[in-house]
Amino acid sequence: MLSAILKWMVGPAAPRAAERTMINAAPPPVIAEPVPPPPPSTPAPLPTFTPIPKIHGPGSFAFDVVGESYYLKNFEKICGPRGPIGVELELSAHLELDDGNPHDSQAVKVSIQGLQVGHLSRDLAREFRRAVIDGKLTAYKKFECRSTIRGGWDDGKGSTGHYGVRIDLPESQK
């Protein structure tokens, strides 16, 4: 028992000579295979930037967008919460050829701040697409124009206004 108490007070006994050489000996060298450098790779191609053609109208904002009621959540993201007087904003809009639209393969989608807010009317979409072809702009699928958003009020007494979007295109598009 005394040896146990001594070990507890002093620590373990010093190693014997044979053990000392093992403890003090240098560790065996680690032999590692050299890691080959990664194979040269072709850098990924940089994305190409395609400018979006801008359409300049006379400032009359004469063309209504249709289907806004389907995108109320997007209007709330763009305009913020409804208030007693609503909004009247002038913003940039994108008109995008919506070839994959299941209801109309000639549709033109309207987006503001990257969020869809409606479509051009059926007749206007067809006229717009003809203008794209006539203007030799078929390489483009997206165009930019000015737009206004109006409405969206809530007076707190049950009277609310719908959002409406109008876009500014040259009058020949009408």
What does the pLDDT look like over 10-60, one tens digit per residue? 444 445 554 444 455 555 555 555 666 667 777 777 777 778 999 999 999
Q: What is the pLDDT of residue 53?
A: 93
Q: Please give the Cα distance from 33 to 39 (Å, whole number).
A: 17
pLDDT in tens, 59-104: 999 999 999 999 999 999 999 999 999 999 999 999 999 999 999 9
**C-alpha to C-alpha distances, 95 to 82, 112, 125, 158, nearest whole angstrom:** 26, 9, 10, 34
Q: Please give the Cα distance from 162 to 75 (Å, whole number).
A: 10
- Please, what are the domains in the chain? 63-173 (3.30.70)
Whole-structure pTM value: 0.70
